[in-house]
């Protein structure tokens, strides 16, 4: 459990070709240091929901999400200023992109449901698959996986599915296939989180990049305690999020259903 996770291997011809193009390797187990952006983290204690930050912008954006898009915003503002000087009507293009970027990095407040054993969605998006798998990356047991596709119009902040402690995190390099592809789950760049709800009860959440979303931003650290619905990271621009549950958990969502991170109950854990 403490060693490096095994690389994910696909022996099919397409899988081998993709593996040759992009060798799967562990990038790091590290996340953003606390002292780099001190306002993005809290102490290792269970906190009240939702997670508070110094300021919200217009009630739907936190400084933390705005910070992740800072360079995009700077470029668009500069482009808007430059085009305004040359041809004011052309400034409408970067201005429209600026508005969309602000919309993409939104982080609306969510009402977190309360109750024993509830598991909330770790992301906004559409449920694409619910299947039983052999989770071989870390826990090495059969689990039930729920896959969620995030379009560019969904909120891309990831939230803790339950009160838990981060006991594992690792990021893998890979390809950038369309997040809707069946191969995206095993071949795309991804970060996996092991979340311990109680001794012996582990949830696995995986952030997976897509053809457009190519950066995973972690906000939590190993051994950090997260409350249900608390932010722990985001994926920029269209992606996939997976959660693996124990087989005895009761899944209460269906394929095709649209879920909201932190507020939609997707499963109920069995009583200890």
How far is 129 from 147, CA to CA, in rounded Å? Answer: 5
* Beta-bridge mates of residue 268: 118, 250
Read out DSSP for 65-111? HHHHTHHHHHHHHHHHHHHHHH-GGGGHHHHHHHHHHHHHT------
Element (H, E) at 190: strand 190-198
How far is 272 from 269, CA to CA, in rounded Å? Answer: 9
Residue 189: φ, ψ to 5°: -55, 135
- Under 8 Å between Cβ of 1 and 138: yes
- Under 8 Å between Cβ of 120 and 112: yes
239 catalytic residue (yes or no): yes
Tokens of 57: 């912008």
Torsion angle, alpha carbons of 192, 245, 243, 30, to 10: -20
> Active-site residue among 121, 185, 239, 263?
239
How far is 200 from 218, CA to CA, in rounded Å? Answer: 24
Catalytic residues: 239
């Amino acid at each position: 459990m403490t060693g490096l996770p095994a690389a994910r291997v696909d022996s099919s011809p397409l899988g081998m070709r993709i593996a040759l193009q992009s060798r799967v390797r562990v990038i790091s187990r590290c996340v953003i240091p606390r002292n780099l952006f001190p306002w993005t983290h809290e102490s290792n204690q269970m906190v009240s929901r939702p997670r508070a930050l110094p300021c919200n912008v217009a009630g739907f954006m936190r400084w933390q999400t705005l910070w992740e898009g800072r360079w995009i915003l700077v470029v668009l503002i500069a482009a808007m200023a430059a085009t305004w000087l040359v041809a004011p009507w052309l400034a409408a293009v970067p201005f429209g992109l600026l508005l969309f970027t602000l919309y993409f990095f939104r982080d609306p407040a969510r009402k977190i449901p309360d109750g024993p054993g509830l598991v909330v969605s770790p992301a906004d998006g559409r449920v694409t698959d619910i299947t039983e798998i052999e989770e071989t990356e870390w826990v090495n047991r059969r689990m039930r996986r729920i896959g969620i596709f995030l379009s560019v119009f969904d909120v891309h902040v990831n939230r803790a599915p339950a009160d838990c402690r981060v006991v594992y995190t690792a990021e893998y390099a890979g390809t950038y296939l369309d997040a809707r592809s069946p191969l995206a789950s095993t071949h795309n760049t991804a970060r996996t989180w092991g979340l311990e709800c109680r001794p012996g009860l582990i949830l696995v959440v995986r952030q997976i990049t897509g053809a457009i979303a190519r950066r995973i931003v972690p906000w939590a650290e190993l051994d950090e305690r997260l409350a249900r619905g608390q932010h722990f990271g985001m994926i920029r621009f269209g992606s996939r999020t997976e959660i693996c549950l124990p087989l005895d958990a009761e899944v209460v969502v269906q394929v095709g259903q649209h879920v909201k991170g932190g507020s939609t109950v997707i499963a109920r854990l069995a009583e200890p």
